[in-house]
Amino acid sequence: MRLCRNLLLPMQTEISIRAAQAADSSFILACIHELAEYEKLTHEVVADEDSLREHLFGERRFAEALIGCLDGKPVGYALFFHSYSTFLTRPGIYLEDLYVTEATRGHGVGKALLRALAELAVTRGCGRLEWAVLDWNEPAIRFYQSLGARPVDGWTVYRLAGEALEALGKDR
């Protein structure tokens, strides 16, 4: 699996993408908090470093992450997991989070993270790479569309969480 990729940009800024390691857990968690603040969803964040480390790097891994670096310093991440399409009978990748620190946006790290994730999806035989974006997040929507991504018409995301999930999960 070739994940570490280096790109030289004007002014000798080097972008590298690598698989996240357990030592990146505190960086990823800090970015999760920054992302939640940007998305006006801080009230929903209950994440902690131990749970994140366990779920990304523990015995039973539920997700994976890539780290985007500028000149060797982590400045962004992409957190993802596999999904499955019964229509394609192929796995897919669902991108849960894509985040680049505000001070380092515009250097190509987000695009490099998505490129590395697309490469990973192709290598793993996936039929698609999907994610959700908030309707009001025009900068992200423009960015995704510039890469060739298109919204999926006719679908609405539903979610069971909290008390509703607990009630249905205990209903017998």
Q: Which residues are catalytic?
A: 144
CB atoms < 10 A from the CB of 16, how many?
20
Mapped onto helix, strand or coil, the DSSP state of residue 48 is coil
Could you tell me the two tokens for 168?
Answer: 């249905």
Q: Under a CB-based contact definition with an 8 Å cutoff, are residues 35 and 99 in contact?
A: yes
DSSP states of 74-142 as a string?
EEEEEEEEEEEETTTTEEEEEEEEEEE-GGGTTSSHHHHHHHHHHHHHHHTT-S-EEE---TT-HHHHH
Task: Please enumerate in sequence order all residues whose Cβ is within 8 A of that of 71, keeping only pairs 6 or more positions apart, or say none.
Answer: 13, 14
CA of residue 15 relative to chain centroid, distance:
17
Mapped onto helix, strand or coil, the DSSP state of residue 45 is coil
